[in-house]
Amino acid sequence: MEQPVSSIPYCKTGYFNQLVIDFLAGHPSLRPFYKHSPVTPDFEEAITAKKAFPQQRETLVAALREQYKGLEITDKVKHNIESLLDQQTFTITTAHQPNIFTGYLYFAYKILQTIKLADKLQSQYPKYNFVPVYYMGSEDADLDELGHVYIDGKTINWPTDQQGAVGKMRPEGFEELIEQVKQALGYGPYAEELIALLQKAYLEHNNIQEATLYLVNELFGRYGLVILVPDSAMLKKLFVPVMRDELLHQRSFGIVNDTIAAISKHHKVQANPREINLFYLTDTSRERIVRVGDVWKVLHSSIEFTADALERELADHPERFSPNVILRGMLQETILPNIAFIGGGGEIAYWLELQQLFEHYRVPYPVLILRNSFLLTDNNSLQRLNKLGLTITDLFEDTEVLINRFVQEHTNAELVLKDEYAAIEKLFDDLVRKATSIDVTLEASVGAERTRAVKSIGKLEHKFLRAEKKKFTWQSEQIRALKAKLFPAHSLQERKENFMPWYISMGPAFFDLILENMDPLSDQFGIIYQKD
């Protein structure tokens, strides 16, 4: 049987783009766009830079205290919140939208990685304190992305016609949704406990933002995770100087486009800036702000501002201004004493566009770290693989490519017609010589016949393989079943599945298992063995 834990280089998984590979490797095409190695970062340098940046720690802690009112929190969370008043305390942050029921497995991986890295740094730098933070992107309005969960091959959608920021939406219809989740999950020793937790989160809170805050605190609070909801007048007031500059002068558009021009020579661009990278936020809408002459208009509404009115709105209601992807990270780094940000490939891609913008506003640019990725395996799957003579890493191949290779390696028939191809090539080489000795114009005709002959051999080879595969039907179906289980919908497990099917079997120990096998500064895709 395979070792319980192993890994595979990201470049050999087939599921990560070249930007991610180059980022981890420090490739010259990307290295100018970030400050620290994601695998061997200089955290002391990041801490020094953050120390020099003025922090409004009292405001941050006041906002967190207000946010956590009415929630039961662990002593570890309380301690971490209060420790943020200390100039020697720094945060490790990950960010994600409030997907219903947490969305994808990687949501948990990102949070656990912040926890693991904070613990690691606490051991390495005992004179400092490190707090893991989940920064909730509750102002995201993409309900198509946030409003569903996938469990055991079934997508459960939240049917609502509410508009605007998902975090502000009321959790209507969740009684039925939770019942669908319950039916999809089936039995498990922790199933009843989990369903009760979901009911309390979504049926006893006013909006998705509050429900997610409650749920994530219940799941990860024992590790000391601090959850920050930036949708706060207190916090956004700290960002008013940048937002004012954005509205009046639109500097980010030019700065980021200059960076994009350099990056796009080698890599696909993740996010393009707009002239104004702020939305106007209400309880039921989140719409772009555009400037038309001396007036600032909110699209799809009658709201508009003169310069003086805009200044008053910024001063009185900073919470109504919501940064898009270009400015979101700078808001995060302005309000938090943060030194490292953990994100997925898409997040890393857009952060790489922002370093010059951070320098313009003199905000320290954090250590960027790729989130850990895992494949969770089980004893039954490994036993089936062993019977086939395959390893878990073989499953990263395309299904049909893997089956073809399996058949070719285990058949007694000669399916690859190498000798025949060689014979054809030799025959037509001889024919070319004869043809050209007669009439050079005949060479083209011989070439065309060569092409047809090679194609015919290829067709025969394909038919031989197809016929031989019928003798391996059982093995082929086993391979397909394993792929479907461990790579649902032809995707990485973590990009499709939710944590709940594992949680109902293992409870909180599921997160402990991930944490135990996690290297927060890894450049390898991890494989974790789960005992039955």
pLDDT tens string 341-396: 999 999 999 999 999 999 999 999 999 999 999 999 998 999 999 888 888 999 99
Confidence (pLDDT) at 10: 95
Assign 416 a pLDDT band (cuts: 50, 70, 90). low
Confidence (pLDDT) at 414: 52
Confidence (pLDDT) at 4: 47
Q: Render 63-90 in DSSP notation, one character per residue.
A: HHHHHTTT----HHHHHHHHHTTSTTEE
Confidence (pLDDT) at 30: 95
Gap between the Cα atoms of 159 and 52, Å rounded: 48
Residue 318, number of CB atoms within 10 A of its CB: 19
Confidence (pLDDT) at 52: 96
Confidence (pLDDT) at 20: 96
| DSSP letter assigned to residue 167 | G
Confidence (pLDDT) at 2: 42
Confidence (pLDDT) at 179: 97
Instruction: Give pLDDT tens digits for 351-365.
Output: 999 999 999 999 999
Find the mean pLDDT for residues 308-319: 97
User: E strands, 152-255, where?
Assistant: 154-157, 226-228
The residue that leads in pLDDT, 47 or 440, is 47
Find the mean pLDDT for residues 100-121: 98
Residue 205 has pLDDT above 80, yes or no: yes
Gap between the Cα atoms of 110 and 124, Å rounded: 21
Residue 457 has pLDDT above 80, yes or no: no
Residue 197 has pLDDT above 70, yes or no: yes
* H/E stretch holding 176: helix 174-185
Q: 325-335 vs 240-249: helix axis angle to the nearest 10?
A: 150
Q: pTM for the complete prediction?
A: 0.89
Cβ-based neighbours of 132, under 8 Å, separated by 6 or more: 80, 91, 92, 93, 111, 114, 115, 117, 118, 223, 224, 225, 226
Residue 413 has pLDDT above 50, yes or no: no
Assign 3 a pLDDT band (cuts: 50, 70, 90). very low
Find the mean pLDDT for residues 417-444: 77
Gap between the Cα atoms of 136 and 99, Å rounded: 10
Q: Which residues pair with 226 in a beta bridge?
A: 133
Confidence (pLDDT) at 444: 83
Q: Average model confidence (pLDDT) for the chain?
A: 92
Instruction: Give pLDDT tens digits for 134-185.
Output: 999 999 989 999 999 999 889 999 999 999 999 999 999 999 999 999 999 9
CA–CA distances in Å: residue 499 to residues 150, 216, 258, 298: 10, 12, 40, 39
Confidence (pLDDT) at 417: 53
Instruction: Please report, to the nearest 10 degrees, the dihedral formed by the alpha carbons of residues 509, 510, 513, 517 taken in order.
Output: -150
Confidence (pLDDT) at 447: 80
Confidence (pLDDT) at 411: 64
Residue 5 has pLDDT above 60, yes or no: no
Gap between the Cα atoms of 334 and 336, Å rounded: 6
Percent of the chain with pLDDT over 90: 79
Element counts in the chain: helices (H) and strands (E): 23, 15
Find the mean pLDDT for residues 79-95: 98
Assign 406 a pLDDT band (cuts: 50, 70, 90). confident
Confidence (pLDDT) at 198: 98
Residue 231 has pLDDT above 80, yes or no: yes
Find the mean pLDDT for residues 18-47: 95
